[in-house]
Amino acid sequence: MDWVTGLVPGGKENFNEFLMIVYRFSKSLRCLPYHKEVTAMYMALSFWNNIVSTCAISNIIISDRDPKITSKILTNFNDMLGTRLALSTAYHQQTDGLAERMIQTMEYITRRFCAYGMEYKNHGGYTHDWVTLLAAFQLAYNTSQHSTTGKSPSLVEKVWNPLFPVDHLKKDLLNIHPTAKDFHDVWGRPCDTAARSIAEQKNTIKRGGTNLTWNLNSKKETRY
């Protein structure tokens, strides 16, 4: 797992980063939005409520040496669960190289998604930004075929792919409420953008593996 930081504040809580968790076996993705100033206690509770309660306990977690990750609270939390925390740095990796590369690739994809400046304003004037559309991105990625397994993460985990709401919502119903009709666009745009982000990263790797860094404020692409 790793942090995706430096994002434009979004959502009612003005989140500016999120924790990205990739499961090694299925390659599935989970994203939890946070504030940069989040406490270790808040992170531990959020991890328990959103990850452990739905995906069970991990034998090992690979992460960098973020102070929140290495805090006494989270260290004791992992010890209590029997989870081993494998820490690494950019210059001295002591963890699995394949897992490190997978996390890096996922970070580039998620940054691309956020850099598109995803905003959708519905009929009532409510604006959906990257925070409110993050669930749609997560669904789009987890139902996309992974090059390593040849299957989607959802298919590996559940043995079936979830149905996309955008494919089944009926916009031509009579007397449909405008808010209900908005759901088609709210889910359709981020799903399309997520698919485009994934495809662009795959093409980048095929062209030579040069990673792209996005300036999230100007929405311009910068190559290093």
- All structural domains of the chain, each given as residue ranges with its CATH number in brackets, are 2-38+96-223 (3.30.420)
> Within the chain, what is the greatest distance between any pair of CA atoms?
61
Q: What is the reported pLDDT for 97?
A: 62
Nearest to 131 by CA among 48, 34, 40, 214: 34
**Residue reference for tokens 């001295």:** 92
Residue 17 has pLDDT above 70, yes or no: yes
Q: What are phi and psi of 127, to 5 degrees?
A: -100, 130
| Greatest mean pLDDT among 68-82, 86-100, 102-116, 129-143 | 68-82
Residue 126 has pLDDT above 70, yes or no: no
As a whole-number percent, the residues of the chain with pLDDT over 90 amount to: 4
Residue 222 has pLDDT above 50, yes or no: no
- Measuring CA to CA, how many Å separate 30 from each of 46, 55, 120, 217, 223? 12, 10, 22, 24, 27
Higher pLDDT, 182 or 20: 20
Q: What is the reported pLDDT for 216?
A: 38
Q: What are phi and psi of 45, to 5 degrees?
A: -65, -40
What one-letter code names the amino acid at 175? N
Q: How far apart are CA 35 and CA 43, in angstroms?
A: 10
Whether 13 and 3 have beta carbons less than 8 Å apart is answered as no
Give the pair of three-digit tokens for residue 36: 């940069």
Residue 212 has pLDDT above 60, yes or no: no
pTM, entire model: 0.74
